[in-house]
Amino acid sequence: MSPNYIRSFSEGCLRPPTVIGQFHTLFFGSIRMFFLGVLGFAVYGNEALHFSCDPDKREVNLFCYNQFRPITPQVFWALQLVIVLVPGAFFHLYAACKSIKQEDILQKSSYTGFYIFSVFLRIVLEVAAFWLQIQLFGFKVNAIYMCDVGAFEKKFNVTRCMVPEHFEKTIFLIAMYTFTVITVILCVAEIFEISCRRLGLLKTQ
C-alpha cells in the first residue's frame, strides 16, 4: 500500500465525513480509551493479587479467581474497542483504495449506503458487547464471592472470597455501560445526520 493510501486511510479514520462522526471519534479515541487504559489499570491491575479466599491458600485463591473472572474486564473492554473499530476501519480502507474523498462519501448513494452500513454494524457490535458484559459482570460487584470449590477441595464445596475494592469496580462497571450507551446514541445520531444531509435538510460539509 502506497503512502498516499496510508495517509488517506488515517485521515478517514480520524476525520469522518459527518460532524457527529468526528465527535464520536474524539469521544471514542480519547475519553473512552484514556478511561480504560489509565483508570482501568488502576482499578483492576492488582485484583488477582488481592483476591483472597477462606482458607487463604494460593491454589484456592487462583482457582476461585479464575471462576470469578472467566475473562478480566480490561481484556474484555479492550477487545470490545478493537472489534467496534473494525467496520469503520474497513470502510476507510476501502475509501482509501478507491481514492474516495471524505467530502464525496455523502454525495454518492453507494458510498453513503456502505458508510451507513458500517455505522449500523458498529451499533450491533456495541449492543452485543453490552449484553455480553451484563452476562459476564452484571451491574454490581459484591464484596463477597461464594466460590464453588467442590471440584478442587474435597473438604468443602463452597468457600467465601473477598473481592478487593468492590465499590470502585461497581462504579467503573457503570461508567463502561454509560460509555457504550453514549457511543450507540452517537452512532444513531450520525445515521440521522446523514439522512438529513441526503434529504437536503442540512448542508454538507
Residues 173-190: what's their mean pLDDT? 90
End-to-end CA distance of the chain: 28
> Among 1-10, 110-119, 162-171, 190-199, which is the least confidently predicted range?
1-10
Per domain, the residue ranges of the chain are: 18-196
Could you confirm whether domain 18-196 is CATH 1.10.10.10? Answer: no
Q: Among residues 3, 10, 20, 27, which one has the least CA distance to residue 119?
A: 20
**How many CA atoms lie within 13 Å of 123's alpha carbon, on the beta-carbon side?**
15
| C-alpha atoms less than 13 angstroms from C-alpha of 28 in its C-beta half-sphere | 28
- Per-residue pLDDT band for 5 (boundaries 50, 70, 90) equals very low
C-alpha cell at 155: 473438604
| Side chain identity, residue 79 | L
- pLDDT exceeding 90 applies to what percent of the chain? 11
C-alpha cell at 112: 453513503
Alpha-carbon distance of 18 to 173, in angstroms, equals 30
Query: What does the buried/exposed string (b/e) look like for 158-174 if buried means 16 or more CB atoms within 10 Å of the residue's CB?
Result: ebebebbbeeebbebbe
Please return the burial class of 8, using the count of CB atoms within 10 Å of its CB with bins 0-12, 13-18 and 19+: buried
Is the per-residue pLDDT at 183 higher than 50? yes
Which residue did the predictor score with more confidence, 190 or 39?
190
- Give this prediction's pTM: 0.81
pLDDT of residue 147: 86
- Give the model's pLDDT for residue 127: 94
**Highest-confidence segment of 31-35, 66-70, 121-125:** 121-125
Answer yes or no: is pLDDT of 104 > 90. no
The pLDDT-based confidence of 202 (bands split at 50, 70, 90) is low
Question: What local confidence, expressed as pLDDT, does residue 148 receive?
Answer: 83
- Asked if pLDDT for residue 73 goes beyond 70, the answer is yes
Q: Which residue has the higher pLDDT, 40 or 127?
A: 127
- Please answer whether residues 162 and 52 qualify as being in contact, where contact means their C-beta atoms are separated by less than 8 angstroms: yes
- Helix runs in 35-156, H state only: 40-44, 47-50, 58-68, 73-97, 109-137
Q: Is the pLDDT of residue 8 over 60?
A: no
